[in-house]
Amino acid sequence: MQVLIDGTYYDKEHAKISVFDHGLLYGDGIFEGIRIYNGRVFELEDHIERLYMSAQAIALEVPIDRVAMFEATLETVRRNELRDGYIRLVVTRGEGDLGLNPVKCPKSSYFIITSTIQLYPPEAYEKGLTVITCSTRRNSPQCINGSVKSLNYLTNILGALELRGTGANEGIVLNQDGWVAECTADNLFFVKGGKVFTPHPITGALRGISRGVVIKLCREQLSIPVEEGLYTLYDIYNADELFLTGTGAEAAPIVEADRRKIGDGTPGPVTRRIIKAFRDYAATSGAPVWPE
């Protein structure tokens, strides 16, 4: 495996960053998780755009421009000869002292890792997932805005820890006002009366790339109305169908929430249509890794 760090490629065993990097010491940095399908990088333009928007939000200067980052991502995939897999693109505040002040970090740093990935087994997409509601709450936008995909993922980790021993595949996270925000690592959707609903980013939900693709496919290809709004667990429990989206999960059905059967307890017809449309789109779109 070849890892790119600040313009230089290293073998996995020699790919290292300083213990004084503020990304490590304080979670002061941003990242993107990106999929590779059939030799194409999924929604790379949107991922790069979100990376730089996150950087702007936390006053982090990315050391290379968007075009260079785009090309560096593709080149890293080429060097690792991946046609299907996962990319982790990270930008940190860089090396500084042990103090908190980011001004003490004169230069930011970036690295790109590629690997393989499979979050859920194939049968999960046929039989469906189960979820529970976590007691951990989503950060208020007045603290860390949910639109910033930062290295500080401790809230998500605490939510994921609540899944231990429950048998649940994922956890629903509410914000501090009780509105449904998202899952610990995925965006959440529900279906009611043939219409698709998903929490508005004002709840603290991440503006997920896969989420955006599903919304676009529903509106432009499948003729399914989509609404972004404020919803409670009441809406989740009484949904006809429930599903989640994410880079690793793609689009996956949920058949049980907090021990309540959703719909008839099997992946619903709208969800199945969306999963198929998503897979078809992922297989035929994206930035080509190798010239065609």
The pLDDT value recorded for residue 145 is 84
Look up the CATH number of the domain holding residue 150.
Answer: 3.20.10.10
Share of the chain above pLDDT 70, in %: 100
Tens of pLDDT, residue by residue over 44-62, are 999 999 999 999 999 999 9
Give the whole-angstrom CA distance, residue 121 versus residue 82: 21
Out of 127, 149, 192, 276, pick the active-site residue. Answer: 149
* Residue that finishes a domain, picked among 51, 83, 115: 115
Tell me whether residue 292 is in a domain. no
The pLDDT value recorded for residue 119 is 77
Measuring CA to CA, which residue among 207, 244, 220 is closest to residue 53? 207
The pLDDT value recorded for residue 217 is 98
Find the mean pLDDT for residues 244-251. 95
* Residue that finishes a domain, picked among 115, 130, 148: 115
pLDDT at 136 over 90: yes
79 and 60 inside one domain: yes
Look up the CATH number of the domain holding residue 31.
Answer: 3.30.470.10
pLDDT at 118 over 90: no
Tens of pLDDT, residue by residue over 66-95, are 999 999 999 999 999 999 999 999 999 999
Share of the chain above pLDDT 90, in %: 94
Confidence of residue 144 (pLDDT cuts 50, 70, 90): confident
The pLDDT value recorded for residue 180 is 98
Measuring CA to CA, which residue among 144, 270, 254, 280 is closest to residue 188? 254
State how far the alpha carbon of 183 is from the alpha carbons of 140, 188, 212, in Å.
15, 6, 16
Continuous segment of H or E residues that includes residue 237: helix 233-237
Is residue 149 part of the annotated active site? The answer reads yes
Domain that holds residue 78: 2-115
